[in-house]
Amino acid sequence: MDLAFDEQKGVMIQEPSSVCKISQDEETQTPSRCLSLKETIALKLENIELKMKIGDLENQCTHSKAFSIEDVKNDDKKMKFYTGLSYEQFLCSWRFLGPATTNRSRVCKQSEHTSTKVRGPKRKLLPENELFLTLVRLHLGLLHTDSAYRSGVSITTVHDITTTWNQIFCICSFCSLVE
């Protein structure tokens, strides 16, 4: 008898020294091969490693297809098409809005029990890309669904980001009028 780790129960169990099905595969008409416990554990570990690699690759695919400022910042023609601004104008806007964006988080909903707003979840986009997403959406008149698809985030996240940035635009515009 050999010891093996039961993944479901999280404990070591005793098993026979080999795992063997003595049956014939009906499709190939070849007898099944007996695997030793060592081979079985090695295959299970390989399976876990491959699942982890798949997860990493899925994350890379999600992040790599997101449309961001990096995709157009070196091409003023594209930058103006998507945002209506050159990259220099975008940077000036970013510097102007900068003080209002320091140490902030998105406000995404009101608490059910009070009238105070609740801080949003951890950011999925950099603040510069949130501004870019908002400007693209406003300039091209994109729907939330399209913006979400292009940016690799959920529709709700796009709504929360654009609402927050619209509030920042209003606050900064009002503050500049008062000064």
- Indicate the pTM of the whole model: 0.56
Helices and strands in the chain: count of H runs, count of E runs:
6, 6
Instruction: Indicate the domain borders of the chain.
Output: 2-64, 69-178
Burial of 137 (C-beta count, 10 Å sphere; 0-12/13-18/19+): buried
Q: Where are the alpha helices (DSSP H) in 65-154?
A: 76-83, 87-101, 127-140, 144-151
Q: What is the per-residue pLDDT across 102-160, written as a single tens digit (0 to 9) for each?
A: 655 555 555 455 555 556 566 788 888 999 999 999 999 999 999 999 988 999 999 99
Per DSSP, 22 falls in state -
Q: What is the per-residue pLDDT across 16-51, written as a single tens digit (0 to 9) for each?
A: 555 455 455 556 555 556 778 888 888 999 999 998
The dihedrals phi and psi of 164, each to the nearest 5 degrees, come to: -60, -45
